[in-house]
């Protein structure tokens, strides 16, 4: 328990420093924040106008389709908020500053994965949570479905964590992070809509091979009562397996790291 509290305190200090640096750049802060808000508004408007003409999307009502989009945003924005430091990892490896992280008495993976939360995402998370709550209530879920939704959101974040750890590990081996993380972002963007709208084999790939469907579509379906017990169990198993494999990949990558002094 003491170790957990210690790392929470370290995370708070690093995040506070990250916030201070970003907030000092007021113009950049306002531009990026405005961009995030406009992007969200334009896409939700786009989705709304599509549904105005068709009334349904792959058999889902307009409220259900909007809830899928909001669930995607919730998982995506929370992952960006927590793991923003991963986007700044490559310069550490190229410059050799990663050596300094490895010798410090703080877990290196924790430092490069959660070394600085994003203040912009912190601002946008509360409105998204409120929107998820508001639209979710319109779907009349039971208490059991709501609890299952929250558990599957946590499982989705676990899978997102595994993706980011794998990207960091790949960055040590190949010195390539930027393009890999953007490929991850592009793939997860397919989860803005329920994966049911895609034809096979893409639907199967997004469900099992690259589990975007399990990250964002399955939690939304759980709130609607559209998930089978097998789907629930397999999603949790996949989340645990993904995090274990990513940690092993990270350990392997460290054995391949050549420090600046070597």
- pLDDT digits over 236-259, tens only? 998 999 999 999 999 999 988 876
Ranked by mean pLDDT, which of 32-41, 105-114, 190-199, 253-262 comes out on top? 105-114
Q: Tell whether the model's pLDDT for residue 180 goes beyond 90.
A: no
Residue 215, pLDDT score? 85
Q: What is the mean pLDDT of residues 52-77?
A: 78
Mean pLDDT of the chain: 81
In 24-97, alpha helices (H): 26-54, 62-83, 89-95
pLDDT of residue 24: 67
Chain centroid to Cα 52, Å, comes to 29
Give CA angle at 80 (3, 106), nearest 5°. 25
The fraction of the chain above a pLDDT of 90, given in percent, is 16
How far apart are alpha carbons 50 and 181 in whole angstroms? Answer: 30
Q: Which pLDDT band, with edges at 50, 70 and 90, does 25 fall under?
A: low
Measured CA angle at 9 (ends 5, 11), to 5 deg: 115
Interval 72-92 mean pLDDT: 85
User: Of the ranges 80-89, 108-117, 152-161, 188-197, which is most confident?
Assistant: 152-161
Long-range pairs, 19-26, Cβ under 8 A, ≥24: 19/117, 19/119, 19/122, 22/118, 22/119, 22/120, 23/119
Confidence at residue 152, expressed as pLDDT on a 0 to 100 scale: 93
| 54 or 147, which is more confident | 147
The per-residue pLDDT for range 111-131, each reduced to its tens digit, is 888 887 777 777 788 888 888
Query: b/e map of 91-129 (b: 16 or more CB within 10 Å)?
Result: ebbeeeebeebeeeeeebbebbbbbbbbbbbeebbeebe
Looking at residue 199, the DSSP 8-state letter turns out to be P
Rg (CA), the chain: 19
Output 50 or 118, whichever has higher pLDDT: 118
At 62 the pLDDT is 79
Rounded distance between C-alpha atoms, residue 167 and residue 238, angstroms = 18
Name the 3-class secondary structure at 61. strand
């Amino acid at each position: 328990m003491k170790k957990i509290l210690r790392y929470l305190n370290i995370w708070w200090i690093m995040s506070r420093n990250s916030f201070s640096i970003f907030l000092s750049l007021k113009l950049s802060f306002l531009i990026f924040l405005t961009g995030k808000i406009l992007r969200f508004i334009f896409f939700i408007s786009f989705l709304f106008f599509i549904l105005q003409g068709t009334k349904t999307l792959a058999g889902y009502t307009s409220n259900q389709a909007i809830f899928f989009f909001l669930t995607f945003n919730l998982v995506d924005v929370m992952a960006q908020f927590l793991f923003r430091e991963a986007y700044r990892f490559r310069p550490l490896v190229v410059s050799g500053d990663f050596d300094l992280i490895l010798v410090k008495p703080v877990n290196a993976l924790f430092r490069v994965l959660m070394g600085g939360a994003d203040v912009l995402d912190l601002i946008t998370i509360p409105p998204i949570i409120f929107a998820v709550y508001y639209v979710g209530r319109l779907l009349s879920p039971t208490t059991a479905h709501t609890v299952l939704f929250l558990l599957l959101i946590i499982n989705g974040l676990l899978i997102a964590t595994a993706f980011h750890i794998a990207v960091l590990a790949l960055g040590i081996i190949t010195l390539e992070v930027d393009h890999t993380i953007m490929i991850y972002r592009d793939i997860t963007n397919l989860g803005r809509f329920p994966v049911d709208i895609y034809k096979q084999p893409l639907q199967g790939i997004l469900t099992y091979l690259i589990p975007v469907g399990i990250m964002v579509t399955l939690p939304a379906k759980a709130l609607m009562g559209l998930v089978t017990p097998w789907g629930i169990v397999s999603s949790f198993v996949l989340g645990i397996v993904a995090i274990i494999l990513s940690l092993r990949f990270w350990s392997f990558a460290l054995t391949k790291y050549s420090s600046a002094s070597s």
